[in-house]
């Protein structure tokens, strides 16, 4: 979960929701909080809550870019480099994939992680290093949305991911480099900029989404909570943020 101070509250609320979805603690998945260089650390209550379901890792971005998209680009680039470093040192040899999450992402099903794991295993069988929601444009090949899954060796095999143009989102900027390595999945959805999404948008016939990115209000989170938990949300819900 990547965050800066401006979206920290929502990012932590989504993180707590992710923990609520896990019915029991396991070792298959870990959870990392990655904060921008100038953002404050995660509070103890959230670390404790998420830590009941996942092994917790924390990271402070080493790049010092700010603004959009330069700050977002820097955080993603730093994570690619961090993953490559830990992969090459052997620390993350056991890690099969890293999923870049942000404050405007919402899991849509309790089984979201296991569903994605199935698709990711197929992608790895095909020697793919990236998997996500393919989005048309702005160029002729489109791009895979930046809230994607990647293998920790990605930056060792795809050169130049250490940076991007400060005025172009990194997922668009690096699309041509990533295309040979990506596998689109219909389990992830990119609704960037959407508001007031409806149940049929996320759960309608033929839709296999287990995750959505980019909804700019609370409509997707409300629908997901109602769909998964019914009328009553878990007691851990942060009502100061999700209201």
Query: What CATH code is carried by the domain that includes residue 222?
Result: 3.90.550
Q: What domain range includes position 85?
A: 2-229
- The pLDDT assigned to 12 comes to 98
Strand bridging mode 98-99 / 149-150: antiparallel
- Is 238 within a domain? no
**Residue 63 covered by a domain:** yes
Does residue 44 lie within any of the structural domains?
yes
Provide the pLDDT for residue 240.
36
| CA 100 and chain centroid, separation | 3
Domain total in the chain = 1
Q: Is 149 exposed, middle or buried (0-12, 13-18, 19+ CB in 10 A)?
A: buried
Supply the pLDDT for residue 238.
Answer: 43
Please check whether residue 239 lies inside any domain of the structure: no
Q: What is the mean pLDDT of each run of 10 residues along the chain (243 residues)?
A: 98 98 94 98 98 98 97 98 98 97 98 97 98 94 98 97 95 98 98 97 97 97 96 51 32
Domain-embedded: residue 242: no
Say what the pLDDT of residue 26 is: 87
């Amino acid at each position: 979960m990547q965050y800066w101070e401006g979206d920290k509250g929502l990012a932590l609320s989504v993180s707590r929701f992710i923990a609520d979805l896990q019915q029991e603690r396991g070792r298959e998945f870990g959870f990392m909080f990655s904060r921008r260089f100038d953002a404050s650390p995660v509070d103890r209550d959230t670390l404790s809550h998420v830590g009941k379901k996942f092994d917790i890792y924390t990271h402070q971005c080493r790049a010092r870019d700010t603004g959009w998209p330069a700050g977002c680009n820097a955080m993603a680039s730093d994570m690619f480099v961090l993953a490559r470093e830990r992969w090459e040192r052997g620390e993350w040899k056991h890690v099969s994939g890293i999923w870049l999450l942000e404050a405007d992402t919402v899991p849509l099903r309790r089984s979201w992680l296991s569903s994605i794991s199935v698709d990711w295993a197929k992608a790895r069988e095909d020697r793919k290093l990236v998997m996500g929601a393919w989005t048309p444009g702005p160029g002729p090949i489109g791009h895979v949305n930046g809230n994607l899954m990647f293998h920790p060796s990605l930056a060792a095999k795809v050169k130049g991911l250490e940076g991007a143009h400060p005025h172009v989102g990194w997922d668009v900027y690096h699309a041509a480099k990533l295309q040979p390595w990506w596998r689109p999945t219909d389990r992830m959805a990119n609704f960037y900029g959407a508001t007031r999404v409806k149940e049929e948008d996320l759960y309608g016939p033929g839709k296999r989404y287990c995750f959505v990115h980019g909804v700019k209000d609370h409509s997707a989170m409300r629908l997901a909570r109602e769909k998964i938990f019914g009328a009553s949300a878990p007691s851990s819900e942060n009502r100061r943020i999700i209201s």
